[in-house]
Amino acid sequence: MVVVTISGPSGSGKSTVARLIAKELKLPVHSAGTFFREKAKEKNMDIKDFMEIAPKSLHKEEDHSIDLASKKGNVMIEGRLSGFMASKADLRVYVTAPLEVRAKRTMDRHQLSLKEAKERLKERDEVDKKNYLKLYNIDVDDLYIYDLSINTQHFDAEETAKLILTAVKLAGF
């Protein structure tokens, strides 16, 4: 049984990498981002705007779901705070990249210019950081809980997944 969490900012590659690892390890994926995007869609809102108004009870619901998934085992958990919320994680991974790199990755997905993508990511990062400090007293820039941190600027999704899979194997999971 193995529980791997992947956390990181928007555009860092966490969802893509999580899917690749899950496929290789034959694990289901639990995605906090998917949960919140679906809730935003129900309200016809942009995810950044929705996260500014999402009630604490909704955050708590997803936190509980993440923790429950980690306790059941054999799961790949992906989300901004998944490393903090999954009490039974075997390997906690943080992926990131410079703003410019993250913006280039999100431009096409949202049909934005590079400038618009950078601005949107900066705003989202600020909203998330503020929310997590307020709701949990968690500073997302403090990486002390992570077993592995990878700057995905120099690695594509497949290479990043291979690095994480190597860590899983070396740890004996």
CATH number at 109 reads 3.40.50.300
- Encode pLDDT of 36-81 as tens digits: 888 888 989 887 788 778 878 888 888 899 999 999 999 999 999 9
Torsion of CA 3, 71, 53, 102, to 10 degrees: 0
Element (H, E) at 83: helix 82-85
Bridge partners of residue 78, in order along the sequence? 6, 31
- Encode pLDDT of 147-169 as tens digits: 999 999 999 999 999 999 999 99
Number of domains in the chain: 1
**The two structure tokens encoding residue 59:** 């955050």
> Rounded distance, CA 15 to CA 19, Å?
6
The structure's pTM equals 0.90
Q: What angle do CA 72, 77, 80 make, to 5 degrees?
A: 135
- pLDDT confidence band for 146 (50 / 70 / 90): very high
Its domain, for residue 126, covers 3-170
